[in-house]
Structure 1
Amino acid sequence: MHLAAVGMLETYEIWHRHGEKVGAPPPPIVQDEPEPDDFVHNMLNDIFPIFEQAEDDDMSMGDDTSEMGDAMENQGANVHRLQADTYEGLLAEANREFFPGCDQHSALTAMIKLMHCKVDNHWSNKSFTTLMETLYAFCPKPNNIPKSFDEAKKMLKKLGLGYEKIDVCQNDCVLFYKGNATKVKCPECGADRYKPSPSSEDGKKGKNIPHKVLRYFPLKPRLERLFMSRHIATEMRWHKRKRADQNGVMRHPADSIAWKEFDKMYPDFAMDPRNVRLGLATDGFTPFGNLNPPYSMWPVMVFPYNLPPWMCMKKPYTFLTLLIPGPTAPGKDLDVFLRPLIDELKELWETGVRTYDKSTDSVFDMKAAVLWTVNDFPAYGNLSGWSTKGYLAWPVCNADACSYKLRRKIGYLATRRWLRKNHPWRKQKELFNNEEEKRSAPKHLSDEDILRQVNTLRPSKPGKHKDNPDLKRKRMESELNWTKKSIFFELEY
């Protein structure tokens, strides 16, 4: 087949013993041109694998819809009419010409590529709308070119690339979420949810604009996507199937003591290697440069540790889940913004989500758990609830910290406590603080000790409004450096 399609190399020396005729022209080179939108159809089949199989079953079984339903039930697929309509709509977009005569690119393909260019080159929404209007005017009519950025977003929204907007109290007290979704005033401080809206010339009230909006990118659909691609679904079991034990050498988080202890504590979770182990990272940054006053925004990232080390920390597998708005850092009120993510993590732990695994052509209940958080020291204080300021700032020492005031700073000068009793450095005075170190290392606290401490804390009321009594509340001596019981303690593990 290769010889018939491509022919022999031009540098091939003609041998008459093979039966060739001298001077005979080489066979014509025939190359099959790929379908222009193959990658879009493959993407749709990855997103909706059940429908791809259902179409094959439908063609093989004719009009016998009951047999098709039985086949889909045997696969464990719960096909909803709404999803079917979405798939059919996207398939129609993938087969529709961008403009008359453009047989190389469909409307869906063109929008994906243009949106990719917008992101890579940091185009504004206004410039993208101008481009759409120009293309619509220049291309032959009738065409299928969206006339604005909003229309292009509606076309791509069906691919599952959207996010949820959740209004937030301007004082960071609560989210207008679930039970508070219909309220127009904060139930804690009474602040207005929306900015004052000026009336238009005809007397009609303008659109309600919230003071602060949290962007939430649901985690479950993106974890499901990892199993919709055959190759990535196979790599999601790498930590169990392909990882080789290096006799104490850690090259992947699965080699760590924490991972192995977690598997012992929850054997049902560890039984299926497809259950996802997650890491979570957050920190603040200033997106608008050095403004005065500065604006601080906090993204919350989640990444799956099931993948091999050359994949798990790469950009395509790092998921933005929360985009916490400013202008000020959330501080100890970070838990207010983490509520949607924690609710989803609790659901992923307790019940899981029905997921299609393309590598095995099967459906399973995928569960997930956060094993680690990755952050700098100030962000650690916001996540854990242990203040990273003051004389007890160092969390390892807990209540047994040895700190000293050095003018305007607090120093921790007792690191020699961790040395063995007869170590010569313990007796050296001139290199340290002119004292011998005779104290032993701090006691290592167990998880029961930590839980006992946080369970005795007084309830902390979030919010930055001036009437909040907890805003400047002094901690009791028994509370040590705890400012709150972290929302992560709601997770069973």
Structure 2
Amino acid sequence: MDKSWMAINNSLTSKEYQQGVKSFLDFAMKNLGVDDEIRCPCVDCINGTKYSRQVVWMHLIRRGMASSYITWVHHGEHVPVSHPSVPNNQCGGSGEYDHTDEEPNGLEREDLHKFITLFEDAQRKVYSTCEKFSVLSFIIKMLHVKVYNKWSNKSFDIVMQVFKDILPECNQTVPWTLYDAKKFLRDLGLGYETIHSCKNDCPLFWKESANLEKCPTYDACRYKLNDDGGKKIPHKILRYFPLTPRLKRLYMSKKTAANMRWHNEKCVDDDILRHPADGEA
């Protein structure tokens, strides 16, 4: 389907753009049903809210369509996947995809669709007129403030609830609790794993030592007790940021995947130092 009309700026006057909007709405209604409301892909809503066909029409004509929404996954279009020499190079960071005749299996399609949805949610504004924060940057900022000022989990939830109450027309995808915020980041591949450590900093309670109650070197107890409820709390915790999901995200973007392959495909050995990779070290 021709989508070149999406790049037209004069959406109010261009007949080509208006015809393109009509073809998009016809496509969406054909896949979702004529009586259903559909997600609005205008530059402000970015598929965050459902409206009737007429309202979506007005939004797209007045505001324009989000240029990043190349594959209409929320409106019935299948997600194409490519399988190049570098794995997981499937979709562009701006919503662009490599089109091939190969279809992903059910699990791949589900994971990719989930990530695309989360990625779109992360780019949305906290509220419609907010120019400074996307959902993702807002959550990261608030978590940074929590850690920097040593807020309790309860304090964080209270502050977030105040924001929710006072902000106008809040985005429904904003995670307003600490639990939801951590889950949001984890699903984007930005989470971390906790590994208990000895209070003397010698070993980690990991792999073959994961179930030990005492340090194998100093015989020091792994846990300290919480006087309130008797719950075991480790003396020290290492927060490990797994590399694999982060590499997958980098290779899912056509732009960043090209940079990731640079050392193999573009690095030239001509005795000229242009990059640290050209050095002997």
Superposition TM-score, scaled by structure 2 size:
0.52
Structure 1 position 80 matched with structure 2 position 89:
no
1:186 to 215, 218, 224: 215
Residue matched to 2:43: 34
Structure 1 position 152 matched with structure 2 position 181:
yes
Structure 1 position 112 matched with structure 2 position 139:
no
What secondary structure sits across from 2:224 in the alignment?
coil
**8 Å contact kept, 2:197–2:204:** yes
Residue matched to 1:231: 255
Change (3 A) 1:40 1:111: farther
Residue matched to 2:38: none
**8 Å contact kept, 1:86–1:158:** no
**8 Å contact kept, 1:129–1:147:** yes
- Could you tell me how far 1:131 is from its partner in structure 2? 3.4
Residue matched to 1:53: 80
1: CA distance, partners of 2:226 / 2:174: 34
Deviations 1:433-471 (A, max 9, x none): xxxxxxxxxxxxxxxxxxxxxxxxxxxxxxxxxxxxxxx
Q: 1:426-465 maps to which residues of 2 (within 5 A)?
A: none
- Could you tell me how far 1:210 is from its partner in structure 2? 0.5
**8 Å contact kept, 1:132–1:145:** no
- Could you tell me how far 1:104 is from its partner in structure 2? 8.0
Residue matched to 1:173: 202
**8 Å contact kept, 2:80–2:102:** no
Q: 1:193-272 maps to which residues of 2 (within 5 A)?
A: 193-198=222-227, 200=228, 205-246=229-270, 248-257=271-280
1:132 to 138, 160, 173: 160
**8 Å contact kept, 1:167–1:213:** yes
2: CA distance, partners of 1:168 / 1:87: 37
What secondary structure sits across from 1:52 in the alignment?
coil
- Could you tell me how far 1:224 is from its partner in structure 2? 2.5
**8 Å contact kept, 1:128–1:148:** yes
Identity %: 33
**8 Å contact kept, 2:222–2:234:** yes
What secondary structure sits across from 2:226 in the alignment?
coil
What secondary structure sits across from 1:214 in the alignment?
strand
**8 Å contact kept, 2:118–2:188:** no
Please tell me the residue identity of whatever aligns with 2:110.
A
- Could you tell me how far 1:192 is from its partner in structure 2? 0.6
Residue matched to 1:261: none
What secondary structure sits across from 1:227 in the alignment?
helix
Residue matched to 1:164: 193
Please tell me the residue identity of whatever aligns with 1:134.
V
Residue matched to 1:262: none
Q: Which runs of 5+ in 2 are unaligned?
A: 19-41, 47-65, 82-100
What secondary structure sits across from 2:190 in the alignment?
coil
- Could you tell me how far 1:103 is from its partner in structure 2? 7.0
1: CA distance, partners of 2:224 / 2:184: 31
Please tell me the residue identity of whatever aligns with 2:274.
R
Please tell me the residue identity of whatever aligns with 2:79.
E
Residue matched to 2:117: 91
Change (3 A) 1:71 1:86: closer
- Could you tell me how far 1:163 is from its partner in structure 2? 0.7
Q: Which runs of 5+ in 1 are unaligned?
A: 8-26, 46-50, 55-69, 259-493
**8 Å contact kept, 1:111–1:152:** no
Select between 86-95 and 171-180 the one with higher mean Cα deviation. Answer: 86-95
Please tell me the residue identity of whatever aligns with 2:193.
E
- Could you tell me how far 1:161 is from its partner in structure 2? 0.8
Please tell me the residue identity of whatever aligns with 1:250.
L
2: CA distance, partners of 1:244 / 1:93: 35
Please tell me the residue identity of whatever aligns with 2:272.
V
2: CA distance, partners of 1:182 / 1:232: 39
1: CA distance, partners of 2:266 / 2:247: 21
- Could you tell me how far 1:213 is from its partner in structure 2? 1.1
Residue matched to 2:34: none
RMSD: 4.6
Please tell me the residue identity of whatever aligns with 1:255.
D
**8 Å contact kept, 2:79–2:113:** no
- Could you tell me how far 1:116 is from its partner in structure 2? 3.9
- Could you tell me how far 1:257 is from its partner in structure 2? 4.0
1: CA distance, partners of 2:266 / 2:119: 40
**8 Å contact kept, 2:272–2:278:** yes
What secondary structure sits across from 1:186 in the alignment?
coil
Change (3 A) 1:78 1:181: farther
2: CA distance, partners of 1:195 / 1:84: 42
- Could you tell me how far 1:152 is from its partner in structure 2? 1.9
Question: Whose relative contact order is higher, 1 or 2, with alpha carbons under 8 Å and at least 6 apart?
Answer: 2
2: CA distance, partners of 1:121 / 1:39: 33
**8 Å contact kept, 1:250–1:256:** yes
Change (3 A) 1:193 1:226: same
Superposition TM-score, scaled by structure 1 size:
0.32
2: CA distance, partners of 1:226 / 1:146: 24
Change (3 A) 1:132 1:90: farther
Please tell me the residue identity of whatever aligns with 1:52.
V
Deviations 1:346-394 (A, max 9, x none): xxxxxxxxxxxxxxxxxxxxxxxxxxxxxxxxxxxxxxxxxxxxxxxxx
- Could you tell me how far 1:178 is from its partner in structure 2? 1.4
